């Protein structure tokens, strides 16, 4: 492809069009890539201090306006001043401020102390205009600006090079893990959940002292400003801690008012709103799926969130809530993606790595502060050393100044008279005449010894990483003691959760399903199937599964990345046999380059599943290993990743069947399923069944009665592993074609 550029010749009466070919690669490089990098680096992805540029510019402006210790000012004043650093318009600046305020309740530790209506995180309620609201910096901001006036961070030019602003804010605690952050850039995104400040400070101290320690005892789980309950799943939490990716399951808190027969919901998941919940409840009531409810109201007011649900008489509130948790956003996921800018480059990290990065960066901030103080004290000591020298003969100093005819010669004459440098001489020359007395000079020079000790201590600290760490730890303890608050999100361990039986809101009727090798799925009504059972397939595709089954069944789609995607059969629309069907990798949002590998349709999850792999191994896994109490759509490590999967065969309880296995080099064997071991672990690789030579692989595995072959009993093996027999292609049933 090429980009066409039209150039007009304004000097001619007629306009001649000149077409210049430009490779699209160059167009992307020159135009799109700078835009993409600008969005990633300058707008959407937070940095190690826990802020995006828009947050940082706003808070720094408020800091320079004296709003850390002063009185509140109108939000419009702050917005106007911030435009000197942030040129993206007053609306976006004010929207950024709203989220940082105490009134909005989006953060566990707000950075802006606010007065007025700023909306709510848990509601779509609009916030008041900036001319009506007032703001100042919250007290915790003293910790995010700690050392900024002592050269702790780099100061860079603003967009028009008229002002300086900090490249980062020198936060004295890992704010990146305390303040939640979400952002969508070009080709990437970031979603960071919040953690309790006290837990984060304790964890940071533990990791500074021992980088390899297990911090799960101090960092219990994420904590959200909207409270609610967190359904603790150790494997999910560990995945988030280790990789920075994963899902956190949250559910609402409620209480039952028996006198009014009313459920009151007072806390909801961070990722939803009261309006979204009410809309879903209303939709389900109209559809007749929540017949237990007589009325539902959003009673959110100045006192906080409250959703009231009136029950009809005779219904159990806990069973209704279990139903609502499954059908509405009252139970919801927070998707984690800890993507952070490190030295200008986006990087996805786990908690340990994030705290390590913050520790290294914070250590550098402390060193810069110490170096700044060292320079200031050294300069002062240098001046006092010069002052000390004139103490020996104050009269001489006065005489030199009095007898010097030209003002420009005062400093050189003092340098010659007392063997001091120009800086010291300038300092002495600027001393008021009334201070040229012994008492003043003695009082000033008495600081020399103290300054020398302080300078020595600063130099020793600069050379010692242990002393730097002790300063960081001391600051972390101070932050924890001063600003730490109890957890808002209650941790509920899933082992203690009583789940209600699956709520069947799906009509139960038989349908016919078809699954093809290339990943196309069809759900066909039996009425539509009658008289038209010829299935349309994509060229080169073939059917691997077809059966009549209940509409309430669960569908299990295994992939080449060893993952399992689950779906309800009822979620698929019925189509005709003449249609290709729905492409499963697209419908279920498979990962990039992830392909369909195998299929099961389940109605009861009883019995077991036989997996046969291309490397000649096989394993039997209990079917209930793939049954989930929560409505999970994806299971990772669902099958072995050692080799591609060849066949998935379903076994009923205590059932033994004959399986016929073939390889590409015409080896064949018939074995009983009792020879294959059963494993409890889903991703077990199993045991070797068919011995293979280098380059060979298993081609197929089917139940004996489903095979097109005859005389298969002569291929039976009573022990494994085995190289099998040489396959005789004559042993094929008449009028059947081998697939």
pLDDT mean over 201-218: 95
The separation between the first and the last C-alpha atoms of the chain, rounded to the nearest angstrom, is: 42
> So what's the pLDDT on residue 505?
58
**Among 122, 150, 171, residue at a domain's last position:** 171
- Checking if the pLDDT of 502 tops 80, the result is no
Which of 32, 35, 132, 509 is an active site residue? 132
Pair 538, 459 in one domain: no
- Whether residues 51 and 146 share a domain: the answer is yes
| Judgement on whether residues 594 and 458 belong to the same structural domain of the protein | no
C-alpha radius of gyration, the chain, whole number: 36
| CA–CA separation, 405 and 57 (whole Å) | 54
Q: Are 166 and 148 in contact (CB under 8 A)?
A: yes
CA distance 739 to 726: 18
Query: Which residue, 159, 188, 182, is CA-closest to 55?
Result: 182
State yes or no: pLDDT of 3 exceeds 80: no
pLDDT value for 729: 72
Among 730, 704, 614, residue whose Cα is nearest residue 665: 614
Q: What is the pLDDT of residues 699-721, one digit of tens each?
A: 999 998 888 777 888 889 999 89
Is residue 315 domain-resident?
yes
Q: Which domain holds residue 438?
A: 360-466
Tens-digit pLDDT profile for residues 343-369: 889 999 999 999 999 999 999 999 999
- Is residue 51 in some structural domain? yes
Which residue, 130, 152, 171, sits at the end of a domain? 171
CATH number at residue 694: 2.120.10.90
Quote the CA–CA distance of 92 and 82 in Å, as a whole number.
11
CA atoms of 49 and 699, how far apart (whole Å): 55
Percent of the chain whose pLDDT exceeds 90: 63
Residues 296-338 pLDDT 10s: 999 998 889 999 999 998 889 999 999 999 999 999 999 999 9
End-of-domain residue from the set 405, 439, 466? 466
Confidence of residue 517 (pLDDT cuts 50, 70, 90): very high
The predicted structure's pLDDT at residue 287: 84
- Local confidence band at 289 (pLDDT 50, 70, 90 cut-offs): confident
Question: Residue 669 in contact with residue 725, Cβ under 8 Å?
Answer: yes
Residue 231: pLDDT over 90:
yes
pLDDT of 497 reads: 64
Q: At what angle do helices 351-390 and 422-429 cross, to 10 degrees?
A: 70
Residue 39 scores a pLDDT above 90: no
**pLDDT average, residue stretch 168-185:** 94
How does DSSP classify residue 127? P
Tell me, yes or no, whether 4 lies in a domain.
no
Q: Are 140 and 50 in contact (CB under 8 A)?
A: no
Has 372 been annotated as catalytic?
Answer: no
Q: Are residues 60 and 110 in the same domain?
A: yes
Phi, psi for residue 330 in degrees, rounded to 5: -60, -20
Predicted local distance difference test score (pLDDT) of residue 534: 83
Q: Does some domain include residue 335?
A: no
- Whether residue 581 sits in one domain with residue 685: yes
Domain match, 366 and 309 both: no
Residue 6: the pLDDT is 44
Please calculate the CA angle 454-456-462 and round it to the nearest 5 degrees. Answer: 105
- 638, pLDDT greater than 60: yes
Distance CA 293, CA 276 (A): 17
Q: Are residues 432 and 522 in the same domain?
A: no
Mean pLDDT (whole number) for 666-681: 90
Higher confidence at residue 644 or residue 187?
644
| Same domain assignment for residues 158 and 273 | no
- 310-317 long-range Cβ contacts below 8 angstroms, 24+ apart: 310/260, 310/261, 310/262, 311/261, 311/262, 311/263, 313/261, 317/256, 317/263
Structure-model confidence comparison of residues 12 and 278, the more confident one:
278
Same domain, 515 and 601: yes
Rounded CA gap, 269 and 225, in Å?
A: 10
Q: For 103-159, how does the pLDDT look when each residue is reduced to its tens digit (9 = 90+)?
A: 999 999 999 999 999 999 999 989 999 999 999 999 999 999 999 999 999 999 999
CATH number, residue 296: 3.30.1360.40
Q: What is the pLDDT of residue 35?
A: 74
Asked if residue 529 and residue 641 are part of one domain, the reply reads: yes
Report the residue count for the chain.
Answer: 739
SS (H, E, C) 268-313: CCCCCCHHHHHHHHHHHHHCCCCCCEEEEEECCECCECCEEEEECC
Is position 718 within any domain? yes
Domain count along the chain: 4
> Whole-angstrom Cα distance, residue 633 to residue 177?
27
Does one domain contain both 310 and 381? no
C-beta atoms surrounding 359 within 10 Å: 18
Does 420 reside within a domain? Answer: yes
For residue 474, being part of any structural domain is answered with no
Q: What global pTM score does this model have?
A: 0.67
d(CA 707, CA 687): 23
Pair 319, 369 in one domain: no
- Residue 175: predicted pLDDT: 97
What is the distance between the alpha carbons of residues 41 and 346, in angstroms, rounded to a whole number?
Answer: 8
Mean pLDDT of the chain: 89
Q: What is the pLDDT of residue 488?
A: 96
The pLDDT, as a whole number, for residue 495 is: 61
Q: What is the DSSP letter of 536?
A: P
- Nearest alpha carbon to residue 337 among 191, 236, 238, 235: 191
Confidence (pLDDT) at 13: 47
**Is the confidence at residue 735, as pLDDT, over 50?**
no
User: What pLDDT score does 447 carry?
Assistant: 87
Q: How confident is the model at residue 504 (pLDDT cuts 50, 70, 90)?
A: low
Half-sphere exposure of 229 (CA within 13 A, CB side): 16
In a domain, 389, yes or no: yes
- Among 219-228, 277-286, 524-533, 545-554, the range scoring the smallest mean pLDDT is 524-533
User: How far is Cα 428 from Cα 421, in angstroms, rounded to an integer?
Assistant: 11
CATH code, domain carrying 451: 1.10.268.10
Nearest residue to 425 (alpha-carbon basis) of 435, 416, 414, 438: 414
Three-class secondary structure of residue 351 per DSSP:
helix
Q: For residues 632-637, give the mean pLDDT.
A: 83
Residues above pLDDT 70, as percent of the chain? 93
C-alpha dihedral, 632 to 634 to 637 to 643, nearest 10°: 150
CA geometry: angle at 561 spanning 558 and 564, to 5°?
A: 30
Identify the CATH number of the domain in which residue 81 sits: 3.90.199.10
pLDDT class for 512, splitting at 50, 70, 90?
A: very high
């Amino acid at each position: 492809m090429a980009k066409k550029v039209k150039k007009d010749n304004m000097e001619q009466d007629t306009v001649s069009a000149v077409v210049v070919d430009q490779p699209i690669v160059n167009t992307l490089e020159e135009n799109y890539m700078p835009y993409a990098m600008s969005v990633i680096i300058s707008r959407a992805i937070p940095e190690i201090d826990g802020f995006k540029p828009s947050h940082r510019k706003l808070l720094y402006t408020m800091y320079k306006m004296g709003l850390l210790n002063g009185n509140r000012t109108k939000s419009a004043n702050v917005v106007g001043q911030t435009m000197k650093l942030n040129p993206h318009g007053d609306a976006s600046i004010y929207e950024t401020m709203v989220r940082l305020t105490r009134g909005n309740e989006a953060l566990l530790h707000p950075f802006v102390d606010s007065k007025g209506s700023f909306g709510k995180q848990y509601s779509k309620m609009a916030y008041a205009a900036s001319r009506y609201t007032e703001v100042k910096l919250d007290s915790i901001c003293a910790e995010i600006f700690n050392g900024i006036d002592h050269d702790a961070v780099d100061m860079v030019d603003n967009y028009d090079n008229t002002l300086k602003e900090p490249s980062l804010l020198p936060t004295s605690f890992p704010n990146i893990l305390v303040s939640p952050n979400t952002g969508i850039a070009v080709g990437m995104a970031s979603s960071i959940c919040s953690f309790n400040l006290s837990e984060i400070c304790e964890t940071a101290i533990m990791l500074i002292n021992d980088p390899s320690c297990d911090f799960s005892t101090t960092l219990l789980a994420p904590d959200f400003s909207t409270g609610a309950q967190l359904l603790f799943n150790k494997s999910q939490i560990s995945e988030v801690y280790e990789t920075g990716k994963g899902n956190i399951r949250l559910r609402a808190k409620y209480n039952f008012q028996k006198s009014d027969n009313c459920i009151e919901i007072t806390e909801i998941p961070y990722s939803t709103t009261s309006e979204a919940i009410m809309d879903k409840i209303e939709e389900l009531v109209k559809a007749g799926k929540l017949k237990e409810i007589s009325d539902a109201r959003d009673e959110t007011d100045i006192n906080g969130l409250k959703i009231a649900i009136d029950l009809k008489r005779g219904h159990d509130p806990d069973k209704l809530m279990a139903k609502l948790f499954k059908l509405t956003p009252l139970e919801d996921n927070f998707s984690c993606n800890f993507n952070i800018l490190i030295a200008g480059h986006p990087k996805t990290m786990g908690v340990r790595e994030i705290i390590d990065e913050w520790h290294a960066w914070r250590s550098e901030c402390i060193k810069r502060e110490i170096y700044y103080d060292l320079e200031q004290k050294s300069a002062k000591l240098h001046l006092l050393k010069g002052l000390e020298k004139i103490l020996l003969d104050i009269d001489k100093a006065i005489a030199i100044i009095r007898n010097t005819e030209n003002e420009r010669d005062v400093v050189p004459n003092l340098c010659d008279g007392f063997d001091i440098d120009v800086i010291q001489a300038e300092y002495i020359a600027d001393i008021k005449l009334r201070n040229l007395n012994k008492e003043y000079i003695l009082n000033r020079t008495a600081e020399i010894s103290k300054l020398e000790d302080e300078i020595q201590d600063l130099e020793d600290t600069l050379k010692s990483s242990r002393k730097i760490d002790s300063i960081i730890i001391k600051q972390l303890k101070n932050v924890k003691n001063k600003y730490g608050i109890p957890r808002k999100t209650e941790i509920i361990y899933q082992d203690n959760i009583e789940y209600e039986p699956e709520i069947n809101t799906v009509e139960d009727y038989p349908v016919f399903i078809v699954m093809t090798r290339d990943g196309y799925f069809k759900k066909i009504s039996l009425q539509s199937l009658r008289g038209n059972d010829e299935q349309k397939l994509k060229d080169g595709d073939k059917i691997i599964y077809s059966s009549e089954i209940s509409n309430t069944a669960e569908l299990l789609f295994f992939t080449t990345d060893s993952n399992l995607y689950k779906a309800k059969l009822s979620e698929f629309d019925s189509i005709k046999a003449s249609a290709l069907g729905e492409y499963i990798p697209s419908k279920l949002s498979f990962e990039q380059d992830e392909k369909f590998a195998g299929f099961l349709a389940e109605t009861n999850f009883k019995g077991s599943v036989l997996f046969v792999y291309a490397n000649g191994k096989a394993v039997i896994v209990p079917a209930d290993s793939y049954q989930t109490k929560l409505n999970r759509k994806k299971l990772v490590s669902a099958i072995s990743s050692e080799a591609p999967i060849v066949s998935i065969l379903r076994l009923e309880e205590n059932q033994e069947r004959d399986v016929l296995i073939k390889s590409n080099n015409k080896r064949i064997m018939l074995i009983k399923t009792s020879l294959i071991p059963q494993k409890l672990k889903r991703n077990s690789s199993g045991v070797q069944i068919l011995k293979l030579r280098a380059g060979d692989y298993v081609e197929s595995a089917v139940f004996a009665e489903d095979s097109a072959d005859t005389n298969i009993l002569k291929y039976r093996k009573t022990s494994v592993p085995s190289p099998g027999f040489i396959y005789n292609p004559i042993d094929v049933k008449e009028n059947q074609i081998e697939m």
